[in-house]
Amino acid sequence: MTTQDEGPDRVELLQGTLDVLILRTLTGGRQHGQGIARAIERNSGDEFLIDHGSLYPALKRLEKRKWIEAEWGVSANNRRARFYELTRAGRAQVEVETDRWHRLAAAMGRVLGTEPTGG
Protein backbone atom coordinates (compact mmCIF):
# COMPACT_ATOMS: atom_id res chain seq x y z
CA MET A 1 0.00 0.00 0.00
CA THR A 2 1.15 3.49 -0.71
CA THR A 3 1.41 6.07 1.99
CA GLN A 4 0.76 9.75 1.75
CA ASP A 5 3.79 11.38 3.27
CA GLU A 6 3.23 14.51 1.22
CA GLY A 7 0.00 15.03 3.07
CA PRO A 8 -1.02 18.27 4.74
CA ASP A 9 -2.19 18.33 8.32
CA ARG A 10 -5.47 16.49 7.92
CA VAL A 11 -3.89 13.60 6.06
CA GLU A 12 -1.45 13.24 8.91
CA LEU A 13 -4.40 13.16 11.21
CA LEU A 14 -6.06 10.47 9.18
CA GLN A 15 -3.04 8.25 9.20
CA GLY A 16 -2.68 8.91 12.85
CA THR A 17 -6.00 7.16 13.29
CA LEU A 18 -4.52 3.85 12.25
CA ASP A 19 -1.40 4.72 14.21
CA VAL A 20 -3.38 5.22 17.40
CA LEU A 21 -5.14 1.91 16.92
CA ILE A 22 -1.76 0.19 16.66
CA LEU A 23 -0.32 2.04 19.63
CA ARG A 24 -3.41 1.34 21.66
CA THR A 25 -3.23 -2.35 20.82
CA LEU A 26 0.40 -2.49 21.88
CA THR A 27 -0.39 -1.06 25.34
CA GLY A 28 -1.59 -4.59 26.04
CA GLY A 29 1.92 -5.92 25.51
CA ARG A 30 4.22 -6.94 22.66
CA GLN A 31 2.52 -8.30 19.58
CA HIS A 32 3.32 -9.33 15.98
CA GLY A 33 1.69 -7.78 12.88
CA GLN A 34 -0.98 -10.39 12.38
CA GLY A 35 -1.88 -10.20 16.05
CA ILE A 36 -2.24 -6.42 15.83
CA ALA A 37 -4.42 -6.63 12.73
CA ARG A 38 -6.60 -9.28 14.29
CA ALA A 39 -6.93 -7.31 17.53
CA ILE A 40 -8.02 -4.16 15.66
CA GLU A 41 -10.60 -6.11 13.69
CA ARG A 42 -11.90 -7.90 16.74
CA ASN A 43 -12.06 -4.75 18.87
CA SER A 44 -13.93 -2.86 16.15
CA GLY A 45 -16.50 -5.65 16.11
CA ASP A 46 -15.23 -6.59 12.65
CA GLU A 47 -16.42 -3.19 11.39
CA PHE A 48 -13.04 -2.32 9.94
CA LEU A 49 -12.24 -4.49 7.01
CA ILE A 50 -8.64 -3.59 6.34
CA ASP A 51 -5.96 -4.87 4.09
CA HIS A 52 -3.48 -6.46 6.40
CA GLY A 53 -0.82 -5.21 4.05
CA SER A 54 -1.62 -1.62 4.95
CA LEU A 55 -0.49 -2.25 8.49
CA TYR A 56 3.18 -2.46 7.60
CA PRO A 57 3.71 1.05 6.26
CA ALA A 58 2.14 2.30 9.49
CA LEU A 59 4.35 0.08 11.65
CA LYS A 60 7.37 1.25 9.69
CA ARG A 61 6.38 4.85 10.25
CA LEU A 62 5.91 4.34 14.00
CA GLU A 63 9.22 2.59 14.17
CA LYS A 64 10.90 5.49 12.38
CA ARG A 65 9.48 7.88 14.96
CA LYS A 66 10.82 5.62 17.69
CA TRP A 67 7.42 5.08 19.23
CA ILE A 68 7.73 1.35 18.81
CA GLU A 69 10.57 -1.08 18.37
CA ALA A 70 10.66 -4.56 16.97
CA GLU A 71 12.59 -7.80 17.06
CA TRP A 72 12.17 -11.28 15.73
CA GLY A 73 10.74 -13.87 18.06
CA VAL A 74 8.59 -16.96 18.16
CA SER A 75 4.80 -16.89 18.27
CA ALA A 76 2.53 -18.86 20.56
CA ASN A 77 2.09 -21.55 17.94
CA ASN A 78 5.81 -21.71 17.28
CA ARG A 79 6.04 -19.53 14.18
CA ARG A 80 8.86 -17.12 13.62
CA ALA A 81 7.44 -13.59 13.74
CA ARG A 82 8.54 -10.03 14.22
CA PHE A 83 7.23 -8.64 17.51
CA TYR A 84 6.52 -4.97 18.19
CA GLU A 85 6.70 -3.20 21.53
CA LEU A 86 5.98 0.35 22.73
CA THR A 87 8.94 2.56 23.62
CA ARG A 88 8.76 5.11 26.42
CA ALA A 89 8.10 7.86 23.85
CA GLY A 90 5.44 5.62 22.39
CA ARG A 91 3.61 5.31 25.69
CA ALA A 92 3.46 9.10 25.98
CA GLN A 93 2.30 9.32 22.40
CA VAL A 94 -0.64 6.98 23.11
CA GLU A 95 -2.12 9.69 25.34
CA VAL A 96 -1.69 12.40 22.70
CA GLU A 97 -3.01 10.21 19.90
CA THR A 98 -5.96 8.97 21.95
CA ASP A 99 -6.98 12.53 22.63
CA ARG A 100 -6.78 13.45 18.93
CA TRP A 101 -8.72 10.32 18.10
CA HIS A 102 -11.51 11.22 20.49
CA ARG A 103 -11.80 14.66 18.94
CA LEU A 104 -11.90 13.17 15.47
CA ALA A 105 -14.36 10.47 16.52
CA ALA A 106 -16.64 13.07 18.06
CA ALA A 107 -16.57 15.09 14.85
CA MET A 108 -17.19 12.00 12.78
CA GLY A 109 -19.95 10.93 15.10
CA ARG A 110 -21.70 14.24 14.61
CA VAL A 111 -21.41 14.04 10.86
CA LEU A 112 -22.30 10.41 10.66
CA GLY A 113 -25.19 11.04 12.99
CA THR A 114 -26.88 13.01 10.21
CA GLU A 115 -26.98 10.15 7.80
CA PRO A 116 -28.96 11.17 4.73
CA THR A 117 -31.43 8.70 3.35
CA GLY A 118 -30.39 7.72 -0.12
CA GLY A 119 -32.79 8.96 -2.73
Partner 1 sequence: MMGWGRRSGVDEREERLAHIRLEADRLVEEGVEEREALRQARARFGRDETLEATTTRWGLTAFEFLERDVRHAVRRLAAAPLTTATILASLTIGIGVNTAIFSLADQALVRPMPVPNPDGVVQLSWEGQWIGEGRGWGKLLPHPLFTALAEQTSVFASLAARSPGEVTLITPAGPERNTMSLVTGSFFEVMGIRPHLGRLIDERDDQILGGHPVAVLSHSFWRTRYDADPNVVGRELRVNGEPLTIIGVAPEGFHGTDWSRMPAAWTSMMMNDLVHAWGDLDQPRVRFQHLFGRLADGVSRDEAQASLAPWFERYRRIDMEHPSWPADREEAEVAAYLDATLAVLPGRTGDAERTHDLTEPLLILSAATALLLLLACLNVANLTLARAVTRNRDTAVRTALGASRVRIVVERLVESGLLAVIGCGFGIVLAPLVSAWILRYFEVGGDGMALHAGIDGRMLGVAVGTALVATVLSGVGPAWFAASTPPMGALRTQKAGAGIRIRRALVVGQVALALVLLVGAGLFGSTLSTLRGQGPGFATDQLITFELHPGNDGFSVEESKGILEEVRSATARIPGVEHVGLSWQPMLRGSGWGNNMLVGNDERTVTDTYLPMNAVTPGFFDALDVDVLRGRGFDSRDRAEPGEWRWDVAIVSQSFVDRFLGGEEPLGLRIDFARDLDVQPRMEIVGVVEDYAEQRLRDPDPQVYFPFDAHARTGGAYYLRASAPLAAVTDEIRRRVSDVSPALTVSELRTLDEEIDRLLVFERMLSAIGGAFATFGIGLAMIGIYGVLSFMVQARRREVGIRMALGAPRASASRLVVGDALRLTLWGFAMALPTIWLLGRWIESWLYGVSATEPTTLLSAVAIVLAVCVGASVGPATRMARTPPTEAFRAD
Q: What are the phi and psi torsion angles at 88 (to 5°)? A: -65, -45
User: Any contact of residue 88 with partner 1 (CB under 8 A)?
Assistant: no
Please report how close the Cβ of residue 48 comes to partner 1 at its closest, in angstroms: 6
C-alpha distances in angstroms, 45 versus 19, 39, 97? 18, 10, 21
User: Any contact of residue 80 with partner 1 (CB under 8 A)?
Assistant: yes
From candidates 6, 45, 46, 51, binder to partner 1 by CB under 8 A: 51
Please report how close the Cβ of residue 66 comes to partner 1 at its closest, in angstroms: 6
From candidates 30, 38, 98, 100, binder to partner 1 by CB under 8 A: 38
Q: What is the rounded distance in angstroms from the CA atom of residue 18 to the CA atom of residue 55? A: 8
The count of residues in the chain is 119
